[in-house]
Structure 1
């Protein structure tokens, strides 16, 4: 058994608590959050409760920690863990700014203490199968990618003030996951052009359209809205989301020199002979694969990271690049220009 502390007992923190409580290889070292709800959660699970995470880390010395605190507290909590040699899983985004993310990256790489960033989709069976098909060369060089995340959040979702304030819009809440998967499957992003929408009249965006250039030469487009009715979002198509119904189908389309792949229905389309082209029919092949549920797979991987048996699937540096690319969308839309990932990293005080 390994002992993992939970820092933060909000919505996703409670999910982490229940997942740890049911995992055969993990014991909850403590739940740490000053709220009365956190104390009740600890009581329900019969685990220690603390209100101060620094004191808790020194007193209980857990093997690992899951950081599910507000974004601006990610860096201080991660640094506290790293200083004590404690591996941590940081919920996305890795931090509230590139500068804060860079501090986590520097500390993790200097000390060798691993940090796993909680971009849970990379652990999903459909994304893992897509990555395997790409790595095996089935698509050839990827030329183009197109995707969408379109769903309708209810009006009462915005009763919470921070969801109408800077950082609470669809970019850092939702698009950041899509950006991470695009980087994971297609390759590093070079530059972005974007438009955003404010159809609800809030200060934060509720939609965005992107044009993406990848470092390997591939081109991409993506559209997102939390103000539109559709079945086209990973939360639906994967069947892996915690709070959404399953709507089987595709939400992401990858086209290469040899074949094309749609995710999450996992159909690969290709010519049967090398000399065929656009005037010949395509054959369809299923490339889906079974696997652990996404959040269980993430927790199991983190346990292996804590034991130093595996390297983090999403390192702190990886999480910083995803954050930088997501923030580039906002800057590109506000200034109506192309923004490079290198520019974002330099402005944020991080090496590109």
Structure 2
């Protein structure tokens, strides 16, 4: 029989409790430790074999994997401690609170060979995965233009519960946009330049409530993205994907649209528009909706982490992936502050686009 893996969940906040519940329900994992100096046993999911401790070092010698769900500034120290102990770690997004701290994690992980999986759970969504597959197949041709949105309304008590959310760093650029940047990178590749503007006219807090971004992709595509946590709209991943039942849903809306030289795809409805011949506004196009079975990305992420710990899979979202998405978001914040465009280093050359013949020979199967 397969040995059950011993897991420590570090951080007993909202997302930490979600991870703990999933570990407890998993047939091949055991929740051995919940680590939090302020842990409340009455409010923390735990099993008969779970120890509630205040210090990660207590758990590191006795577990197979670590799920790090601490506040962002603590990600660096927790990840480095797990790596030093040789323990695979799942680090909640963002990988760290600064690019410099994220780079330290990347260096340590790559030097040691210890797997680090970053918790950008949307990468495990069957909806996003299918859209990535469609674009990679060449079904829409070479990506040309990308439009995205994260428009939703955070209630007043969201800010009353945590007053730091009214201050710089507590707005949708650093808290919410990182998810979407990671998704856009999965869909269309690296982002090499951004220009952004932000405003706070709705609430008047020190932090932005709305921001607009222009994106340059390494593949040559251009994109725009609008994010607001003060908008009476449902054009966000959370409310269009229907993957989190806690949110109101809008299953007829999309939050991403990728247009290529031969067609386009909208996400998460997965409406695919293609042209049989040359794309033209005079020519008819075919529209299909790709059918995908919906599954909980957090469950799929944990399943993947099990395979990573056992050495059967490489992390789907590596520490370097997490660093790159953080670089883009930090560039957006810098651009919004200065009003200037900001280049984003990728550390690798831009990919060469496929030839026209290769694209036209490609196809995608819809269900």
TM bucket, shorter chain: over 0.9
Aligned to 2:257: 253
> Quick check: 1:216 aligned with 2:232?
no
Number of equivalences: 342
- Report the CA distance shift for 1:275/1:338 in structure 2 as closer, same or farther (over 3 A): closer
Aligned to 2:169: 167
Rounded to whole Å, the distance in 2 between the matches of 1:45 and 1:125 is: 34
> Quick check: 1:66 aligned with 2:67?
yes
After TM superposition, list the pairs within 5 Å mapping 1:105-120 onto structure 2. 105-120=106-121
After TM superposition, list the pairs within 5 Å mapping 1:1-352 onto structure 2. 1-38=4-41, 40-41=43-44, 47-58=50-61, 61-159=62-160, 160-199=162-201, 200-241=203-244, 243-248=246-251, 249-271=253-275, 273-275=276-278, 277-342=280-345
Q: After TM superposition, give the deviation of residue 4 of structure 1 in Å.
A: 1.1
Give yes or no for contact 2:213–2:225 (8 Å, CA) kept in 1: yes
Poorly superposed stretches of 4+, deviation over 3 Å: 42-46
Cα RMSD for the two superposed structures: 1.8
Q: After TM superposition, give the deviation of residue 285 of structure 1 in Å.
A: 1.1
Give yes or no for contact 1:232–1:250 (8 Å, CA) kept in 2: yes
Q: After TM superposition, give the deviation of residue 344 of structure 1 in Å.
A: 11
| Ranges in structure 2 where 5+ consecutive residues have no aligned partner | 349-367
| Ranges in structure 1 where 5+ consecutive residues have no aligned partner | 346-352
Give yes or no for contact 2:147–2:225 (8 Å, CA) kept in 1: yes
Give yes or no for contact 1:324–1:344 (8 Å, CA) kept in 2: no
Give yes or no for contact 1:42–1:48 (8 Å, CA) kept in 2: no
Mean Cα displacement is larger for which, 255-264 or 42-51?
Answer: 42-51
Deviation string for 1:127-163 (max 9, x for gaps)?
Answer: 0110111121111110000011110100010011221
Rounded to whole Å, the distance in 2 between the matches of 1:101 and 1:294 is: 23
- Report the CA distance shift for 1:19/1:280 in structure 2 as closer, same or farther (over 3 A): same
Give yes or no for contact 2:20–2:46 (8 Å, CA) kept in 1: no
Rounded to whole Å, the distance in 2 between the matches of 1:164 and 1:155 is: 11
Rounded to whole Å, the distance in 1 between the matches of 2:109 and 2:345 is: 21
Mean Cα displacement is larger for which, 112-121 or 276-285?
Answer: 276-285
- Report the CA distance shift for 1:242/1:67 in structure 2 as closer, same or farther (over 3 A): farther
TM-score between the two structures when normalised by the length of structure 2: 0.90
Give yes or no for contact 2:192–2:217 (8 Å, CA) kept in 1: yes
Question: What SS does the aligned partner of 1:342 have?
Answer: coil
Rounded to whole Å, the distance in 1 between the matches of 2:9 and 2:305 is: 13
Rounded to whole Å, the distance in 2 between the matches of 1:12 and 1:239 is: 18
- Report the CA distance shift for 1:155/1:33 in structure 2 as closer, same or farther (over 3 A): same
TM-score between the two structures when normalised by the length of structure 1: 0.93
Q: After TM superposition, give the deviation of residue 322 of structure 1 in Å.
A: 0.3
Q: After TM superposition, give the deviation of residue 24 of structure 1 in Å.
A: 1.4
Mean Cα displacement is larger for which, 45-54 or 117-126?
Answer: 45-54
Aligned to 1:350: none
